[in-house]
């Protein structure tokens, strides 16, 4: 069996996905060094044997690969090039794997002239991350990809090299575009049905069991049925960010994507209404006159 890595791996950013990735690596007996802006998130991983670092530059010390799973481009830039960042003590000799969803051009700009950088679009949720069941879409030089393929195959059931740096982000943005539009469409259909007198639970059950429902819609229909959007699988504000990034990508290549633009507008409005840290299915609350009311 091919070894997943020849040395420790750093995981920078311990949100739901980062924590899942670190847990998966620990389960495989791989040495893991972790960092998070709020240090308390590292405690459960430290109890399992991970080294919890005070700064990103400490986390990557002695590692062969570093997975960055922070929220956005600003956070990614700070983790890499900030005063205590990965590059604060000089060039990083391992492979930097940017799994944060940012604009493709931004990951290229942040990477600069670093020789070994990949961007990875991750498809899946925290359970997939923990269980090594993600689908990973990778951009970057082929030689760099091959050097960490065993590591990536530990984390994902499907690992695809797409091409140049930025390709992974392009795939991730279009996938999130589909999810954002699908979930909003289901929320709109459900609100229309309820407003016209149909019973909400029956409508959602019918949608989830129909040929129109994707696995994501079937999954999110349970969120809409319960009206519970806490403990998010994917935060609404991150969906808003990704939809805006997808819309900007479309504009940059001269495409008009009306559905993407409309979904981005709705998600941004929902974020402004204070729903940003709830699950992305909470976009339904931006469709009603009183977004704070129960759905």
> Is the distance from CB of 248 to CB of 170 less than 8 angstroms?
no
H-run or E-run covering 93:
none
Do 142 and 161 contact (CB within 8 A), yes or no?
yes
Active-site residue among 172, 220, 235, 241? 172
C-alpha to C-alpha distance for 164 and 145, rounded to whole angstroms: 11
Q: Comparing C-alpha atoms, which of 148, 179, 163 is closest to residue 243? A: 179
Q: Which two tokens stand for residue 61?
A: 């010390």
Rounded-to-integer distance, Cα 125 and Cα 127, Å:
5
Q: What are phi and psi of 113, to 5 degrees?
A: -100, 20
Catalytic annotation present for 157: no
Backbone angles phi, psi at 156, to 5 degrees: -135, 145
213: which 2 tokens? 């429902």
Under 8 Å between Cβ of 76 and 102:
yes
Residue 25 · residue 154 · CB < 8 Å: yes
d(CA 230, CA 95): 35
Helix (H, G, I), strand (E, B) or coil at 147: helix
Active site residues: 172
């Amino acid at each position: 069996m091919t070894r997943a890595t020849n040395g420790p791996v750093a995981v920078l950013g311990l949100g739901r996905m980062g924590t899942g990735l670190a847990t998966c690596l620990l389960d495989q007996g791989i040495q893991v060094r972790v960092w998070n802006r709020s240090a308390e998130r590292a405690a459960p991983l430290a109890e399992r044997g991970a080294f919890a670092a005070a700064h990103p530059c400490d986390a990557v010390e002695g590692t062969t690969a570093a997975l960055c799973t922070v929220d956005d481009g600003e956070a990614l830039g700070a983790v890499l090039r900030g005063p205590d960042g990965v590059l604060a003590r000089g060039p990083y000799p391992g492979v930097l794997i940017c799994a944060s969803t940012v604009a493709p051009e931004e990951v290229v700009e942040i990477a600069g002239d670093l020789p070994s950088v990949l961007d990875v679009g991750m498809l899946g949720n925290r359970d997939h991350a923990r269980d090594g069941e993600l689908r990973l879409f990778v951009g970057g030089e082929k030689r760099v990809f091959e050097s960490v393929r065993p590591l990536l195959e530990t984390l994902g059931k499907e690992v695809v090299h797409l091409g140049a740096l930025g390709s992974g982000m392009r795939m991730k943005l279009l996938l999130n575009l589909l999810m954002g539009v699908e979930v909003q469409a289901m929320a709109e259909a459900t609100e229309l049905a309820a407003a016209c007198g149909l019973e909400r639970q029956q409508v959602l059950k019918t949608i989830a069991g129909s040929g129109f429902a994707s696995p994501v819609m079937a999954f999110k229909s349970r969120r809409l049925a319960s009206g519970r959007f806490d403990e998010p699988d994917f935060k609404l504000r991150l969906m808003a960010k990704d939809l805006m990034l997808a819309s900007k990508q479309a504009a940059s290549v001269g495409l008009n994507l009306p559905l993407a633009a409309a979904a981005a507008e709705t998600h941004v409005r929902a974020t402004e209404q204070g729903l940003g840290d709830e699950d992305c299915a909470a976009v339904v609350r931006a469709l009603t006159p009183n977004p704070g009311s129960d759905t």
